[in-house]
Amino acid sequence: MKTPIDQLLAEHRIIEKALRALAGLCERLERGEQVDPDAFDRIFEFLMTFADRRHHQKEEKCLFPALGAQGVPRDRGPIGVILQEHCTGRALIAQMRRAVSAHANDQFIEAARAYVDLLSEHIQKEDNVLFRVAQTLLDERSMRSLQDDFNQAEAELPGSLAKYEQEAQEMERAWAV
């Protein structure tokens, strides 16, 4: 049976496509290739609406409280680290956007590469540590209630998983090298 954790895992695979697209943009800039200015807005929009607002907030507002109810502390341990990384990711997106507004390619590349590294490692940690803890700690009833929370959170957000998956795929195809 599919659990809400499977849904988060599937979202990670979509975010990874966008990370490969972002790394591709960096490489193209480093080679001196022209990058369409719309590409930056497109990837920022994806990272802010899908990776951050949709995915990270489902973890923060639904999964972590469910784990908290099972005794997993929020301010330290794996959840403490993950929350800190979500904050660092948000700061790096802001840094990338400022660099693009200032036409500062080097600063964009530096922030974008830091973001790709951060999120790639972050996803590995969640897949291999936190989500395994969740699969063990949350029983069928907690999983059902977590799924309800996810459904409610998603109903308040624009777009659909299929739409975001297609968008990530298109960006990866266009920019990854």
In this structure, are residues 19 and 120 in contact, taking their beta carbons and an 8 Å threshold? Answer: yes
Stretch near Fe ion under the rule CB under 5 A, chosen from 69-77, 86-94, 119-127, 142-150: 119-127
Stretch near Fe ion under the rule CB under 5 A, chosen from 43-51, 60-68, 93-101, 118-126: 118-126
In this structure, are residues 171 and 42 in contact, taking their beta carbons and an 8 Å threshold? Answer: yes
Cβ-based nearer residue to Fe ion, 16 or 110: 16
Residues 6+ apart with CB under 8 A from 78: 72, 125, 129, 130, 133
Stretch near Fe ion under the rule CB under 5 A, chosen from 21-29, 72-80, 126-134, 141-149: 126-134
Shortest gap between Cβ of 99 and Fe ion (angstroms)? 25
Residue 39 DSSP symbol: H
SS3 158: coil
Shortest gap between Cβ of 46 and Fe ion (angstroms)? 15
Cβ-based nearer residue to Fe ion, 57 or 169: 57
Neighbours of 131 (CB within 10 A): 19
Cα-only R_g, the chain: 17
Shortest gap between Cβ of 177 and Fe ion (angstroms)? 25
In this structure, are residues 51 and 18 in contact, taking their beta carbons and an 8 Å threshold? Answer: yes
Cβ-based nearer residue to Fe ion, 6 or 30: 6
Contact status: 126 vs Fe ion (CB under 5 A): yes
Site residues for Fe ion per CB under 5 A? 126
